[in-house]
Amino acid sequence: MKNLLAVFLVSTFSWASFAAPSQTFAQTPIQVSEDIVIDYDFGEVAVGSGSSTSWELYAPADKSIYISQITMSGGDYWADTDCLGFLEAGYSCTFTLYFVPSQQGESNATVKVLANEDSVTMNIKGTGIPGGEPQ
């Protein structure tokens, strides 16, 4: 049985911005034995603007889990979460990922969430398009 029961897409929104936020998680490799893999495409986002999406991660109703690491590799992305540490049985936490393209073209990232023996791997991509650049 998976310790990390489910990951659900909660919301997606975009905004105009001229300063890209800094990276918030260490880029440490994780050794895992089994993955839940999610592919997510932010689509086209204007350079200098941003887009975000949020997921809820749930613990099984009968078992608490411990989320020990969240790592991210890839530029133009950053994250915010309340998921590190113990997640009591039946409860959820929120993971929000932001894409703020700094240049035109495709950008890729990988996010890994390690919980007990299980993990979630998110393969993320987005494309920076013209528009929104500061003058």
- Rg (alpha carbons) of the chain, rounded to whole number: 15
* Residue 35 banded pLDDT, cuts 50, 70, 90: low
85: left (phi over 0), alpha (psi -120 to 50) or beta: left
Whether 103 shows a pLDDT value over 90: the answer reads yes
Q: Would you say residue 56 lies in a domain?
A: yes
Q: Residue 44 is part of which domain span?
A: 6-14+30-129
Half-sphere exposure of 108 (CA within 13 A, CB side): 3
Q: What is the CATH number of the domain that holds 62?
A: 2.60.40.10
Cβ proximity of 30 and 67 under 8 Å: no
Whether 87 shows a pLDDT value over 90: the answer reads no
Q: Would you say residue 114 lies in a domain?
A: yes
Q: Would you say residue 62 lies in a domain?
A: yes
pLDDT tens for residues 39-64? 899 999 999 899 999 888 888 778 88
Query: How many domains, in total, are found in the chain?
Result: 1
pLDDT of 52 reads: 92
- Comparison of pLDDT for 103 and 32, the residue scoring more: 103
